[in-house]
Copies of this chain bind each other. A is one copy, B any other.
């Protein structure tokens, strides 16, 4: 049990590095698990292992929040859960709208982790009139004509876009015009937004392509040194395609 604390209100709490912010939810998840197991305190080493990061990094991350640990003991789990929750803004309620109730949108609406931590699905919105009124995850779908009104009535500041690529930018513009200032974009498009609006994107296709790159590299390393210079452009494809066979998909354009 943690004892006497001389915690000052963290004089430098402004300016938490972005990389640290991105890890706070990870720590919070690990801490919540510990809390449910009624673990009173945890060391940076243990918590770091649970969160899958380096312990020095974790300690430095926490140092941006303040001095919340006790030397020789570790961190009080409950206290830290609260501090991180507060820092992330999870002690308040965030109404969220999901726009585009297709396969993905429906899956997101059903996602349990949504409501678990301060986020509340205020409305599901779709452009298809046939969807209107139909309940998804227990919430009736609203037509996109009502988008602005829904945003305003519920004080929504976070929007999730799960529309097809072509509809994403128009939807985004409407969301922003209606007052949304944070957007989570699942559509495979680059959104352009005015200053002051945050956009984060989740892109399955990009993630897979990054994995494919590393996968190819691994395969190429095993298959000995297939020297692949930059100059011999034409037939450098033999590198790692042993079982490839013909593919008629290669662009014929090959400038000299």
A residues near B, CB below 8 A? Answer: 1-7, 9-14, 21-22, 24-26, 28-30, 50-52, 65-67, 76, 78-79, 81-82, 86-94, 96, 102-104, 106-108, 110-111, 113-114, 116-119, 157-158, 181-184, 188, 190, 192, 196, 198, 200-218, 230, 233-235, 237-238, 240-241, 244-245, 247, 249-255
Is the Cβ of A207 less than 8 Å from the Cβ of B200? yes
Given A107-B106, A114-B205: A210 in contact with B81 (beta carbons within 8 A)? no
Number of copies: 2
Distance in angstroms from A78 CB to nearest chain B CB is 4
Chain B: CB-nearest residue to A234: B11
Q: Which of B2, B12, B86, B250 contacts A202 (CB 8 A)?
A: B2
Is the Cβ of B211 less than 8 Å from the Cβ of A198? yes
Distance in angstroms from A227 CB to nearest chain B CB is 11
Chain B residues within an 8 Å CB radius of A158: 208, 211-212, 215
Q: Which of A181, A214, A215 has the most CB of B within 10 A?
A: A214
